[in-house]
Structure 1
C-alpha cells in the first residue's frame, strides 16, 4: 500500500516523489505498442538521432488517454491533490539508447496556451508547433504539478532526471545562482511502470545516455487555474 503521508511530505519538502508499480508490465507494453503504431508524420512529432518527442501527446495518439489514467494513477493523483486539477499539457519523450542529448539545469517556467496575447503578468511568449508557451505568474507555477510515467527502467546511465531537492521553494532560481557548496544533487531512479511526481519549479536536469538503454517517458502537466479572458490552456482535459 502506498504511504500517502510520506509522498505528501516529499512533495512539500523536496518538490518531488516517486511511486512504484502504478502500471503493470502488460500495461506498459500496451502503451508502447500503441505509440509505436501511431502515424508519426505530423509537425508535432520531433524526430532526431538523439530524441523522439510527441507534443500534444493525448491529442496525437488517439485512444491512449484512458489507458494512461488507470485506476491506480487516478487514485494517487486524487489522494495527493484532490479533485480540482485537470490536464494542461502532455508530451512523450523517447531518448534512444545511443543518444547524446542532455538537458541542462532548469525549471519549467512556461505553460502551453492556445494563442499569443499580451496580458499583464504573462510573458515572454514563444511559438511551438500548434501552441504557444508563455511564462505565467509564479503563483500558477507554484501550484501546478507534473506526472512523469516511466516506460523503461531509468537511472543515471540512460538519462534519469537529476534534481535539487527543495529548490522549488526558492521561486525563480537561476542556474548561475546555484551554490553547489550547499545544494545536493539527487538522481531519480524509476522502474518501468513507476511514476515521478514533481513541481515545475524544482530545478532539474538529465545527462547523456551511457548504457545504450532507451528512456521513454510520458510527461503530463496539471493545473487548477482558470486563465484570463483571451487565452486558454492548449490541451485542457479532465482525467
Structure 2
C-alpha cells in the first residue's frame, strides 16, 4: 500500500511513474500468443517495416481483456486513479528490431469519440479510418491516465519513452518552447511485464531502435468523466 502511495505521488508531481512485475513471464507470453493469432487484415491495423499497430485494441482483440486486467492491474487502477475509471482508448504497438521510427516530443492532446458535434472548447477535429478525434477542454485531458504495458524489456536503445518531468503541470506546453536549461529529461526504462503510467499532458518522445530488440507495448487510456451533450468515448469499456 505504501508503494502505491509513492507511485500516485510520482504521477501527480512528476507526470509519470513505472511499476515492475505487474505480469509474470507466463502472463506476458499468453498475451503475446493471443495477439499473434489475430487476423491482421482489418482496417484498424497498420503494418509497415517500422511499425505494426492495432487501434481499438481491446475491442478488436477482446480475448486479451481478461489477461490484461489481472488482479494486480485492477488494484493499481482502483488505488491510484479511483474505482470509477474506465477505458477510453487502447492501441497495441509493435516496434520491430530494425525500426527507424521515432516520435519527437509532444503531448497527447486529442481524444477518440463516436461522432462530430460542434461544442464549445472542442476543437481541431480530425477523422481517420472512420474514427473521430478532437482536442477537448483541458479539464478533460487532466483527468486522463495512460497505462503502457510492456511486453519486452525496454530501454533507451529500443524506444523507451523519454519524458519531461512536471511538464503536465504547464497545461498546453509546445515542444518548441522547451527550456532545456531548466527542464529535466528522464528515460523510462521498463522491464517485460512492467508498466509505465503517464498523464497525457506530460511531454514525451521515443527514439529509434539501435539494439535490434523488439518493443511491444499496449497503450491504454482511462477516464472517469462522461462527455457532454451526447458526445461519447468511441472505445468506452468498463
TM range (shorter): over 0.9
Native 8 Å contact 1:162 1:206 kept in 2? yes
Map 1:107-122 to 2 at 5 A.
Answer: 107-122=107-122
CA contact (8 A) 2:110 2:134 kept: yes
TM-score (norm 1): 0.98
1:65-105 per-position Cα deviation (integer Å, ceiling 9, x unaligned): 11100000000110111111110000000000000000010
1:31 matches 2:31 = yes
Write out the 4+ residue segments of structure 1 that deviate beyond 3 Å after TM superposition: none
In structure 1, the partner of 2:138 is 138
CA drift at 1:216: 0.3
Root-mean-square deviation over aligned CA pairs: 1.0
Query: What is the Cα deviation at residue 4 of structure 1?
Result: 1.3
Q: Secondary structure at the match of 1:64?
A: helix
Task: String of CA shifts for 1:106-163, please: whole Å, max 9, x gaps.
Answer: 0000000011221111011111223211000000111110000000000000000000
- Provide the residue aligned with 1:230 in structure 2: 230
- 1: CA distance, partners of 2:185 / 2:207: 13
Q: Which residue of 1 aligns with 2:102?
A: 102
Contact 1:44 1:130 in 2 (8 A): no
- Give yes or no for contact 1:46–1:54 (8 Å, CA) kept in 2: yes
Q: How many residues align?
A: 238
Q: For residue 155 of structure 1, what is the aligned residue in structure 2?
A: 155
Give the gaps of 5 or more residues in structure 2. Answer: none
